A and B are shown apart, each in its own frame.
Chain A
Amino acid sequence: MVEPLISATNVTRTFGEFTAVDDVSLSVGSGEIVGLLGANGAGKTTLIRMILGVLGVSAGEITLFGEPPSRATRARLGYVPQGLGLWDDLTVQENLDFISGTYGKDAPELPAALGAIRTSLVGGIGLGHQRQVAFAAALGHTPELLVLDEPTSGVDPLSRARLWDLIHDAADRGVGVLVTTHYMQEAQQCDRLVLMSQGAAVAAGTEADIVKGTSVVAVQTARWHDAFTALSAADMVVMLAGTGVRVVGVQPDAVETALTAAGISGTVAAARPTLEETMAARERAS
C-alpha cells in the first residue's frame, strides 16, 4: 500500500481542561482533495497546526510523508493560511522571490494572469489577485502536499473557479490537498470530506455519505411568511428558500400537521438535504 501523505491516527490535543481535538483520525493520499468542514471552534485550525508541525499532539500520532512533522517535512508542503501570509509592502515578484528563497529555490514562473501586476505592491492589488499570488507562492517549491485554509474566501465566482482549477491541476500531478472551507459549494470540489464538531470527527466520506440520514422537507406556499412563523413557533429548524421554506430534521407529516394547525395550505415534500442543513441538524441534535 502507498504511504499516505498525511496520516493522523487517534489524535487528541488538550489545552488545560479543554479538549480542542478529540481522537481524530484522517488521511490524505497522493492526488486526493480532502475537505475539512466544521463550525468555528470545532477544532479544524488546531488539527491543521498539528499537521503543519507547529503544535504537538497530546495523544495519538501524526506522520507526514511517513515521518513525524519537522522542518524537513515542512519543506515538502505548501501552506496558504487564511491571512495569505504575503507582505503588503513588497511587489508580487518580490514576494515570490522572497518566499522561494526561504526554500532555497528560484521563484516560480509567474502565472500569466499575474504578468501585468508583477511590479505592483501586494497591498495595492485586489483580493482575487492576492489569493493567486499566495497560491503561486505556496506552489513555487513544487510541494507534494497543499494545506489550504479557506482558500477562496471573498473572491468573485470566476476567480474562485480559476483558483480551484489550480488546485485540481496540482492534484492531477499527484499533489495531495487538505482544504478547510465554510463554503458549501466548495466542499463539492473535494473527493472526500471530514466533518468536525466539538473537536471530534463526526462524519466522513463523500457529500452523499454525509448528508445521508438527514431529513429535509420543502414547503411551497403563497404564504411563506406565515409558514415560516408557524413552523418556527413549533420549534422546527426552518430555512428560507427563495419564496418557500425548508424544514430540517423532521418528516413531511409533522410539517403538514403544523401547517394545517395554523390554517396554511401548500405543497409539502421531502427534499435532498444540503451539507449546511446536515450540519445544522447535527448541531441541534448534539
Chain B
Amino acid sequence: MTWGARDLHVTYGATEALRGVSLDAVAGEVAAVVGGDGAGKTTLLRALAGAVRPSSGTVDAPSLNHLGFMPTASGTWLDLTVDENIDFVAAAQGVTGPTLRSRRERLLAGAGLEQARGRLSRHLSGGMRQKLAFSLAMLHEPQLLILDEPSTGVDPVSRVDLWRMIATAAADGAAIVMATTYLDEAERAAHVLVLDEGETLLSGTPAEVLAGMPGHVTTVTAPVDRARAWRRGRVYREWSPEPPAPGTASVADLEDAVVGAALAKAERFEAAARG
C-alpha cells in the first residue's frame, strides 16, 4: 500500500508554502522530509494528515482512524502521568481491554518507560517525552504514521531508542513519514525528500539524492571560490556546476549534496534576477 501527495500546492494568504511537492509513503518504509525552519516540512505533513487543504494537487491517505500524527514537541499532556496519557489517547481511539493491555506493555517496554508509568510527562526528560509521544501516536497501530521532527532536541542516545521504535513500526508494516533537520538521520530512511522554501530541492533514495545533485563537490585545502565553498573541519568542500571527472564520485554524503543543490539553486536564482 502506498500513500502520499502528488504535485501539492498549499497557499496561506499571499504565501505559497508548498509549490508542486510530491512524496510517496510506502508501507513498511520510512520516508524522511528534510529542510530547515520554514522549508515547508510541517505544511506537507499537515496536508498529508488532512489538516491543511491544498490549493491544488492530491493527497492519498488512510481515514483518520488509521492515521497517526506526532506533532513537534507537544505530543503529550504535560499534567498527566505516562499511564494517564496512554489511557486518554486509548479512550479517544477506542482501544480497550486486552488489546490496550498488550499494546501498553509493548510500547512502554520499547520506549524504556516501564519504570516511569506514574511520572508526570512534565517531569520526563526530553528524550523520554518524545518516546511517550511516539507511543501515543502508535497506540491505534495506524497504517500511516506522520512524525514532525521527533528527534529535534533529543540526545543521540535517546535518538537511537526512538529510531528503534520507528523501525519496529515500519517492520510491522506501517508507512512512516518523518520530518527532520538531521541529514545523518535521513540517511537511515528508504526515501528522502529535501525541501527548500516550499520547493523540492532533491528527492529519491539516499543514493538517488546523491546522484541527483547538479555538478560535483570536491575536498580542497584552498578553495577557488569562497562563495561556492564551505568548511568541513580543517578542509573545505567546494561545489562546481561541472560534472565530476570520469570514475570519481560526485559527492561524499547527503549533507554535501544538499548544500551543493542549495548553492546551485541560489546561482540559478541570481542569474534569473540579472536577466
- Chain A CB within 10 Å, residue with most, of B126, B152, B157, B166: B157
Could you say which residues of chain B place their CB within 8 Å of the CB of A159? 36
Judged by a CB distance under 8 angstroms, whether A108 is at the interface is: no
Q: Is B39's CB under 8 angstroms from A225's CB? A: no
Q: Is A157's CB under 8 angstroms from B231's CB? A: no
Select the stretch in A96-104, A181-189, A211-219, A261-269 that faces chain B.
Answer: A181-189
Q: Is B231's CB under 8 angstroms from A161's CB? A: yes
Judged by a CB distance under 8 angstroms, whether B233 is at the interface is: yes
Nearest Cβ on chain B to A16's Cβ, whole angstroms: 17
**A245 nearest in chain B by CB position:** B167
Q: Is A40's CB under 8 angstroms from B127's CB? A: yes
**B154 nearest in chain A by CB position:** A182
Could you say which residues of chain A place their CB within 8 Å of the CB of B170? 225, 240
Q: Is A240's CB under 8 angstroms from B231's CB? A: no
Chain A 157-183 interface residues, beta-carbon cutoff 8 Å to B: 157-162, 164-165, 167-168, 182-183
**B189 nearest in chain A by CB position:** A242
**A166 nearest in chain B by CB position:** B231
Q: Is B36's CB under 8 angstroms from A127's CB? A: yes
Q: Is B36's CB under 8 angstroms from A275's CB? A: no
Chain A 194-252 interface residues, beta-carbon cutoff 8 Å to B: 224-226, 228-229, 232, 237-243, 245
Could you say which residues of chain B place their CB within 8 Å of the CB of A41? 125
Question: Beta-carbon contacts of B51-88 to A below 8 Å, as 1s and 0s?
Answer: 00000000000000000000000000000000000000
Nearest Cβ on chain B to A35's Cβ, whole angstroms: 11
Inter-chain residue pair count (beta carbon < 8 A): 138
Judged by a CB distance under 8 angstroms, whether B198 is at the interface is: no
Judged by a CB distance under 8 angstroms, whether A85 is at the interface is: no
Select the stretch in B4-12, B241-249, B256-264 that faces chain A.
Answer: B256-264
Could you say which residues of chain B place their CB within 8 Å of the CB of A165? 230-231
**B35 nearest in chain A by CB position:** A156
Q: Is B37's CB under 8 angstroms from A39's CB? A: no
Given known A37-B156, A128-B37, A183-B182, contact A158–B171 (CB-CB < 8 A): no
Q: Is B190's CB under 8 angstroms from A242's CB? A: yes
Given known A153-B152, A155-B36, A280-B160, contact A225–B187 (CB-CB < 8 A): no
Could you say which residues of chain A place their CB within 8 Å of the CB of B35? 156
**B197 nearest in chain A by CB position:** A156
Q: Is A239's CB under 8 angstroms from B28's CB? A: no
Q: Is A275's CB under 8 angstroms from B190's CB? A: no
Judged by a CB distance under 8 angstroms, whether A29 is at the interface is: no
Given known A153-B152, A158-B262, A276-B184, contact A240–B163 (CB-CB < 8 A): yes
- List 28 A-B residue pairs with CB atoms under 8 Å apart, sorted by A's residue number: A39-B155, A40-B154, A40-B158, A153-B181, A155-B181, A156-B35, A156-B37, A156-B196, A156-B262, A157-B183, A157-B258, A158-B259, A158-B263, A160-B36, A162-B230, A182-B154, A182-B155, A190-B233, A191-B234, A225-B171, A228-B168, A229-B171, A237-B160, A239-B163, A240-B163, A240-B167, A279-B160, A280-B157
**Taking beta carbons and an 8 Å cutoff, which residues of B are in contact with A?**
28-30, 35-39, 125-127, 152-160, 163-164, 166-168, 170-171, 181-184, 187-190, 196, 205-206, 230-234, 253, 255, 258-259, 262-263, 266
Known: A157-B262, A225-B170. 10 other contacts (CB 8 A): A127-B37, A154-B181, A161-B230, A161-B231, A161-B259, A185-B183, A228-B168, A239-B160, A280-B157, A280-B160
